[in-house]
Chains A and B, each alone.
Chain A
Amino acid sequence: MLKALHQRLRQGHRTFAYPRRWPELPERFRGLPAIDASRCPEGCRDCAAACPTEAITVESSTVRLDLGRCLFCGECAAACPEGAVGYTSEFRLAARRREDLLLIGGGAPARATALDERLRRIFGRSLRLRQVSAGGCNGCEVEVNVLNTVVFDLARFGIQFVASPRHADGLLITGPVTQGMREALRLAYQAVPAPKLVIAVGACAISGGPYVDHPEATNGAESTVPVDLFVPGCPPHPWTILDGLLRLLGRVGD
C-alpha cells in the first residue's frame, strides 16, 4: 500500500488541462491539410492522383478536399511538385454535418456546433456512450480508449463509456460498418433509449476510409444510422475526438 502511494506521488498528477491549455502535439503531427491552390501549376492533378481514397479532387484549378475521406497519410504532400500541400497542427476537426467536411479551395471545416438547448440540458453534464466497432482496425478503438486514461480523463467532463446500449445516451461508431456488423449495429441503435446521439469516429466510419466501396462493407455509419458528429482522422488524435465531444456538448466554444 505504501509502495503504491509512493509510486503515485512519484508519477505525479498527469491530467492535461484541456480545454484550458493547448495540447502538445508532435512537430510532424499531420492535422488539417493546407493546400495553397494559388501555387498549383496549370492542369496539375498530382495530389488528387496520389490520394488513396480520392479525398482530393481538382476541377479547373479548384481543389476540393473531403476531410471525411482523408487518411492524413501525406501522399498528397509528397506528390505535389510545388510543395503547395502541407499539414497544419490544427487538430480541431470534428463537424456536425457531413457536408461541413467538404473543403473547397482550402480553409478549415466549420467546427462542430453544440446540441440544441433541450439536448444540452439532457446530455451536457452527463453523457453515456456505447462504443460499437463495426469493422474498425483497432486504430480508432485504441485512440478512443486512451480518453479513459489519466491524461485525458474523459470522466471529468461527465462522459463515460458503458457496457450496454440500454444504459447509453448514444453510440460512438468506428469502422466502415461491415456486412457482418450491420445488423448488430442496427440492433444496438434500437436499444438506445431516445433521445439518442451517434458519433462517427475515423475515416472508415465517416466514408468507408480505405474500404470505401468494398462490397464487404457499407461506406460507414450513415449507411445504417443517422450521425450527429463526424470526427475525421485515420485514426483521429485523441485530442480531436475529445474536442469534438466537448463541442457537441457545448463545453468548448470558439
Chain B
Amino acid sequence: MIGGSELAALRPGERHALAALPRLSIERFRAATLEAVQAGARIGALFAKPLGDRCELFCVLLDGASGRFRVGVCEVARAYPALTPDCPQAHLFEREIAEQAGVEPLSHPWLKPVRLRTVDDAGFAPFRMDGESVHEVAVGPIHAGVIEPGHFRFQCHGERVFHLEIALGYQHRGVERALVGGPTKRTLPLIETLAGDTSVGHTVAYSQAIEALSGRPAPPRAEALRAVALELERMANHVGDLGALSGDVGYLPAAAFCGRLRGEFLNLTALVCGSRLGRGWIRPGGVAFDAEPARAAGIRERMREALRDFHGARDLLRNTSTVRARFEETGVLARETCEQLGIVGLPARAAGLERDARHEFPSGAYHLDRIPLATWTGGDVFARARVRWMEVDHSAAYVADRLCALPQGPVRAERGPLAPQSIAVSVVEGWRGEICHVALTDDAGRLGAYKVVDPSFHNWTALALAMRDQAISDFPLCNKSFNLSYCGFDL
C-alpha cells in the first residue's frame, strides 16, 4: 500500500458508489494527494464538478505499483490552496479547474487560461523576453503542413530557443459538456472524434467505463479483438511517425516507405471494420465487427508483408549516420522532468521510465497477455524513434499471435443500465500514452460528468521543455517526435 491511504481504491473495471467515496477536508485532500504522488503515484485526472454554488474536486491518482486507481473528493467554495507549488504535475489540471469552474487555486504560479481564446484580455499576454539579439518567433494557429492548429511562441537568441510557449484551445468544440446527460446516440461519434487518430484508444476507454458502470464486462473474444485494434492503431501511427521523422531530417527514402506502410497498417483495421481509423469497431459491451478465421488469416498475411517492408525502412533509418546525427541528443527530455510533470506514454518510456498502462493497469485482454515493455534511455528524438520501432515489433508479434488464437464466443454483450450515483475510471495505453476517462453518473444513471484526459494533456509541456536550448530549426523534428494531439487536448 502506498501513500494516500485515506483515498478510495478502485481496480480497473470496478465501479464505486459516489456516496462511499471518502469526503476529505481540503487539508486532508491535499495531504493525501501529495503523499500518494511522493510515493510514486501520478495524477490521472483532477477536476471540479459544480455542486450548487460550490464545487467538488475529484482527484484520480494512478498507482502503478499496486495497479489501483485512488480517488479522493473534497468540497471547495471559490478558492482553495493550490497543489501545484508542492506538486508540479497538477499545474495544468489546476489551470483547467480555474477556467472551467471559476474556482481559484490559490498560490498557483500561472493561471493562464487553458483553452480560452481571449488570452490577452485575461491579462495573460504571452511570456516575453527582452535583450540584445533576443527575438520572438510566433507561429500559428495555422501551420505550414496538413496539421491541426495551435499557436507557438519561441523566445530566441539567434538560433537558440530559450523558451517555447504553447497556446492551444483553437480546436475546442465542447465535447465534455456535450457528454453530460448521456449516453445518447451522439455520444459514440463524439468519443471517436476526441482525437481522430486515436479513435480506438478513446472508444475502448469509454466502453470500459460504461461497462464498469453497468457491471457487464465485454466477452473475452471482444476483449481480445479490442487489444488487436489498439495494437494495430499503435503500429499505424508509429510507422507514420517514423516516416515523418525521416522527412523532417530530409531522408526521403524512409519517409516515402513509411508513409505508404502507415496506410497498409490502417488498411488492416479497415479489413475488420471497414474504416481505416477503426470507426465503428469498438462499442460498449464488446465490438461490432468480428475477425472470423479467414479474415484473421488474411490480416496476418498482409501484416507480415507490411512488416517486412517496414523492417527494410527501419534498417535504413537506423544505419544512416546522417539520420542518427540529427536524431541523437536533439530534444532531450530528462527522466526527472518526466517524473515531476507526470509525463506519460512514449516520451516517458524513451526517457527510461517504465510507464505503460498495459502493464500497470492491465484491463481486458492485457490481464492475460503481456506485451514486452519498450523503454530506452536518453530521452532524445532518437530514443523516441527507437521506442517506436521496438513497439511496432512487439505489437505485430502480439497481433499475429492473438489472431491465431482468439477466444471463442460472442463479440458483444447486451448493455445494461448504468448504476446511479457511481464513479468508474478507465485507463488505456493509446499509441501516444495513457488515456484516462472518469465517468460519474447522476441519480437517474445518466452521465453527470465525464472527464477525458488525453495523453497530450500531460505531454505538451514536455515538448516545450524539450525545446529549451535547442536550435529553432529543430522544432519540426522535436514536435514530430512527440506528435501530440491538438483536439485531444482542446476537447
Contact = CB atoms under 8 A, between A and B. Distances in A.
A26 B185 contact: no
B319 A3 contact: yes
Contact of A133 (B147, B185, B280): B147
Nearest to B236: A142
A38 interface: no
B392 interface: no
Name the residue in A138, A163, A164 with the highest tally of chain B Cβ atoms < 10 Å from its Cβ.
Answer: A138
Interface in A39-62: 49-53
Contacts of B277: 139, 142, 235
19 contacts: A52-B188, A53-B186, A132-B149, A133-B146, A134-B149, A135-B487, A136-B196, A138-B487, A142-B240, A142-B277, A144-B146, A146-B262, A149-B259, A150-B256, A163-B144, A179-B117, A184-B142, A211-B190, A234-B189
Interface of B: 115, 117, 141-142, 144-149, 169-174, 178, 185-186, 188-190, 193-197, 199, 240, 253, 256-257, 259-260, 262-263, 267, 270-277, 279-280, 288-289, 309, 312-313, 315-316, 319, 485-487, 490
A235 to B, nearest CB: 7
A153 B272 CA distance: 26
A27 B270 CA distance: 9
A131 interface: yes
Given A28-B271, A137-B193, A138-B195, A214 B173 contact: yes
Contacts of B490: 180
Given A52-B185, A130-B142, A137-B194, 8 more contacts: A3-B315, A26-B271, A52-B186, A71-B279, A133-B146, A137-B195, A178-B170, A204-B193
Contact of A176 (B115, B173, B288): B173
Interface string A153-196: 00000000101110000000001101111001000100000000
Contacts of A211: 173-174, 178, 190
Given A29-B270, A135-B487, A148 B259 contact: yes
Nearest to A179: B117
A71 B280 CA distance: 10
A3 B319 CA distance: 10
Contacts of B274: 26-30, 74, 87
**Interface-central residue, A10, A234, A237, by most chain B CB under 10 Å:** A234
Contacts of A11: 257, 260, 309, 312-313
B487 A137 contact: yes
B185 A75 contact: yes
Contacts of A75: 185
A70 B117 CA distance: 30
